[in-house]
Amino acid sequence: MGFHMSSLRLKAWVAAAAAVLLPALCPAQGTGGPALGVAVSQPLDPRPGAARTGDAELAAARSAAASAQLLTIGKDYRISANDLIEIDLPDIDALKRTLRVNAAGLVSLPLVGSVQIAGLTSEGAERRIAERYQEKYLQNPQVAVFIKEFTAERITMEGAVVKPGIYPVTGQLTLLRALALAGGFGPIANSSEVMLFRVDETTKKREMLTFDVEKIRTGKSEDPPVKGDDLIVVQRDSTRRLLKDSIIRDVFDTFNPFSILAR
């Protein structure tokens, strides 16, 4: 028993001595390195411009934000003059810029000069800018383009459509063409009750028009023109929605072992 207690005391003394002596015997190498026992959150890479741990996650987050923003205005939106654009290269913060597209459709960027981006989608602008930087300066650059403000006339599509969002008005836009931009009707859309909200230019009051798209498709009604700032709302079919909810409820009750207790 005595020997066992002496052994424990010896181990405790050795551990205490090591805690005091090791930092003095093994100091950190250089002023930039981590001290002994200090966790390093990111590995150090001596290569110039080397990516740090976490850059990939940051780029992914920014890409997700860009995707969400594009979903709001429509992925098919094409950049035009006077649009306000944010251009970000996640690996090089110094190249981040917020610029307004000039009348010629150009933006001026560090190192590469003027780049034509008018007429391109955000994804197209990302590719073009990346190509310009890749020509001389960067290897496989990652570019994110955010449309912060856009000046083209646009319409808003809401309700039971596949891709609700804001879309530019290009050419002669009609109701059927606007629905096609939004991917068509959703699974429980009421095609006989499509509402169009428009502000009257004279009275400045909002008016509402209702259209039966099936009649338009069959030629029984005219396909009405759509103007900038129109809001189009596709109603959901209440009967089909109740039927869908009922089917989901039946399936849930079938596979829920506790459903019998709720009856």
Residues 6+ apart with CB under 8 A from 101: 79, 80, 81, 82, 83, 84, 85, 107, 117, 118
Q: What is the pLDDT of residues 202-227, one digit of tens each?
A: 888 889 999 999 999 999 999 999 98
* Interatomic CA distance for residues 202 and 212, integer angstroms: 27
Does the pTM surpass 0.75? The reply is no
Q: Where are the domains of the chain?
A: 55-149, 154-241
CATH 3.30.1950.10 for domain 55-149, yes or no, is: yes
Could you tell me which residue, 144 or 6, shows the higher pLDDT?
144
Worst-scoring range by mean pLDDT, 34-38, 96-100, 202-206, 243-247?
Answer: 34-38
Matching fold, domains 55-149 and 154-241: no
53: pLDDT confidence band, cut at 50, 70 and 90?
very low
Q: Which fold has domain 154-241?
A: Outer membrane lipoprotein wza fold like (3.10.560)
Q: Is the pLDDT of residue 262 over 90?
A: no
- pLDDT score of 6: 52
- pLDDT score of 261: 42
Q: Is the pLDDT of residue 168 over 50?
A: yes
